[in-house]
Amino acid sequence: MAIFLFLKQIVDMFFEKTWLDVIMAMLLVLLFVYQCYMLRPDSSIEGNDIQKKKKSVCLPDVCLLLIGIIIIAHILLDGVFSIYQNAKIFSAVLMYVLGRMAYQRVEECTGYLALSSYIVIYTNLIMCIVTLGFSGLFDASLKYDGMYYYGTDMAYAMLTGLIFVSMYAKNTILKFVTIFLVCPIMVMRSLAGVQQILLIPIYIILFLFMAERAIKRRRYTDYILPIIIALLLVIIVGLNMPAITGDKDSFLVSILNTLHVSTENFVGRFTSWNDIWDRISASGIVGKLFGISVEGSRGIGSEYLGIVYSTGFTGLILFIVYILSIAGYAVRIYDRKTYYVTVMLAVLFLGTSINVHTMMFTQLSWFPMLYAGMAVSAGRIKKDGK
């Protein structure tokens, strides 16, 4: 597990080396098989009742299962199967299952997440200085994609690293320089508007964590995740409305432009989003309920429109129920670091999903899905242990 978690972020930098992704997927399968073996029923083991409750099926599991059935039905009916792309989706689901099964083991290896985050962050920083020069770090007009295909991918990696370093690294000067100087600079150099915006709620959540530890109370911070998810859903609807209305602008976009935040990453998608929505609207009742095609959703620059296109409004409702149910379990987690990492990864994933079909990219989906599974198991055991 430690090797797997350590390598994931580093492997993501070498996106052109497909064989590295294959190796990581193989390691994931091996970990899954191993955890199945370790959690096999054994009435002689003390605490087996808790293990049974942890493994028993719950609402988020059912939601993912039903979405998976819809996707598999499309694959069988369409007669088209892209092994590489569909494997990415199902590998993310497997990460969720791994989190459900081995959340305590993951918690024991979190130091490796911080270490690999340091490596990723400072490798990209050094490459940025070599490419743009030291003065280029502070030039708002310059764009840098790092060792990734898009600036969005680089910004996502920096924010993921910020989360893991802030929560799992030892308190040193390097840690605070990384969190409050290096990471925001690299995100700004990516010119990825959505990720630049996401810096704000992530910092707010981080400061709330620090405040909670100072006053040693969690009464109000338990409701951070549901409130933030509700706000994100409102923002997501607002930013995706041009897909339905056919407009080239929206109220939220106007506000962001006033604040001089780059909106190019999703404004440029309005035309294609409108075309996708027209195709959904023109589909029959079956298409609206269960989607048009899984294969056709690969190029859609929005997770939410992609869900509707591939699994219909049924899939979208199941996805929303899945997210809300995860939030319900997360607020019961006893370990505060796991709770806060789950919150921040959820914000990062849901926010990035506005203009990226996130489930199609293992870099974007694996860690949020892993912590979603951990949140369910940790939350259930906390509740059942009372």
Q: Over 70: is that where the pLDDT of 381 sits?
A: yes
Query: What DSSP string runs through 331-352?
Result: TT-S-HHHHHHHHHHHHHHHHH
Average pLDDT over residues 12-39: 88
Q: Over 50: is that where the pLDDT of 44 sits?
A: no
Distance in angstroms (rounded) separating the CA atoms of residues 351 and 336: 22
Mean pLDDT value across the chain: 83
Distance in angstroms (rounded) separating the CA atoms of residues 209 and 203: 10
Angle at 247 between CA 244 and CA 249, to 5 degrees: 115
Q: What pLDDT score does 218 carry?
A: 67
> Per residue in 149-190, pLDDT tens?
888 899 999 999 999 999 999 999 999 999 999 999 999 998
Q: What pLDDT score does 128 carry?
A: 92
> Environment class of residue 127 by beta-carbon count within 10 Å: exposed (0-12), middle (13-18) or buried (19+)?
middle
Q: At what angle do helices 2-13 and 151-168 cross, to 10 degrees?
A: 150
The answer to whether 317 and 296 have CB atoms below 8 angstroms apart is no
8-state DSSP, 297: G
Q: What pLDDT score does 57 carry?
A: 82
Q: Over 80: is that where the pLDDT of 48 sits?
A: no
Average pLDDT over residues 285-296: 84
The answer to whether 2 and 109 have CB atoms below 8 angstroms apart is yes
Residue 263 — very low, low, confident or very high, per pLDDT cuts 50/70/90?
low
Distance in angstroms (rounded) separating the CA atoms of residues 297 and 292: 9
Cβ neighbours of residue 329 under 8 Å, at least 6 residues apart? 58, 60, 375, 376, 378, 379, 380
Average pLDDT over residues 100-109: 88
Q: Over 80: is that where the pLDDT of 69 sits?
A: yes
Distance in angstroms (rounded) separating the CA atoms of residues 152 and 141: 16
The answer to whether 385 and 271 have CB atoms below 8 angstroms apart is no
